Amino acid sequence: MTQTTSSPSLASVPSPEDAAGQENFDRLIAEDSRIEPRDWMPQAYRKSLTRQVSQHAHSEIIGMQPEANWITRAPSLKRKAILMAKVQDEAGHGLYLYSAAETLGTPRDVLNDQLLEGKAKYSSIFNYPARTWADMGAIGWLVDGAAICNQVPLCRASYGPYGRAMVRICKEESFHQRQGWEILFELSHGTPEQKQMAQDAVNRTYGPALQMFGPPDADSPNSQQSMAWKVKRFSNDELRQRFVDMIVPQAEALGLTLPDPDLKWNEERGHYDFGPLDWDEFTDVIKGNGPMNAQRMARRIQAHEEGAWVREAAAAYARRQAEQHVPADTQLIGA
Ligand SMILES: [Fe+2]
Ligand SMILES: [Fe+2]
User: How many A from CA of 90 to the centre of ligand 1?
Assistant: 4
What residues pack around ion ligand 2 (CB closer than 5 A)? Answer: 144, 173, 176
Q: Rounded to an integer, what distance in angstroms lies between the CA atom of residue 160 and that of residue 35?
A: 6
DSSP-derived secondary structure for 259-283: S-TT-EEETTTTEEE-----HHHHH
pLDDT of residue 17: 82
pLDDT 10s digits, 148-176: 999 999 999 999 999 999 999 999 999 99
User: How many A from CA of 151 to the centre of ligand 1?
Assistant: 10
pLDDT 10s digits, 24-47: 999 999 999 999 999 999 999 999
**Cβ within 8 Å of residue 187, ≥6 positions away:** 133, 134, 137, 194, 195, 197, 198
Other C-beta atoms closer than 10 Å to the C-beta of 49 total: 24
User: How many A from CA of 300 to the centre of ligand 2?
Assistant: 18
User: How many A from CA of 124 to the centre of ligand 2?
Assistant: 15
pLDDT of residue 1: 39
pLDDT of residue 9: 52
User: How many A from CA of 235 to the centre of ligand 1?
Assistant: 21
pLDDT band at 235 (very low <50, low <70, confident <90, very high): very high
User: How many A from CA of 86 to the centre of ligand 2?
Assistant: 7
Q: Rounded to an integer, what distance in angstroms lies between the CA atom of residue 288 and that of residue 311?
A: 29
User: How many A from CA of 158 to the centre of ligand 1?
Assistant: 20
Q: CA 300 → CA 115, 127, 287, 295, 316, distances in Å?
A: 9, 13, 18, 8, 24
Q: Rounded to an integer, what distance in angstroms lies between the CA atom of residue 204 and that of residue 201?
A: 5
Helix (H, G, I), strand (E, B) or coil at 190: coil
pLDDT 10s digits, 77-114: 999 999 999 999 999 999 999 999 999 999 999 999 99
Alpha helices in 31-153 (DSSP H): 43-62, 64-68, 77-102, 108-116, 134-138, 144-151
Q: Rounded to an integer, what distance in angstroms lies between the CA atom of residue 285 and that of residue 288?
A: 5
Q: Is 302 exposed, middle or buried (0-12, 13-18, 19+ CB in 10 A)?
A: exposed
Residues in the chain: 335
Domains assigned to the chain: 23-292 (1.20.1260.10)
pLDDT 10s digits, 46-86: 999 999 999 999 999 999 999 999 999 999 999 999 999 99
Could you tell me the sign of the dihedral formed by the alpha carbons of 250, 256, 258, 261, in that order?
A: positive
User: How many A from CA of 311 to the centre of ligand 1?
Assistant: 23
What residues pack around ion ligand 1 (CB closer than 5 A)? Answer: 60, 90, 93
pLDDT band at 7 (very low <50, low <70, confident <90, very high): very low
User: How many A from CA of 87 to the centre of ligand 2?
Assistant: 8
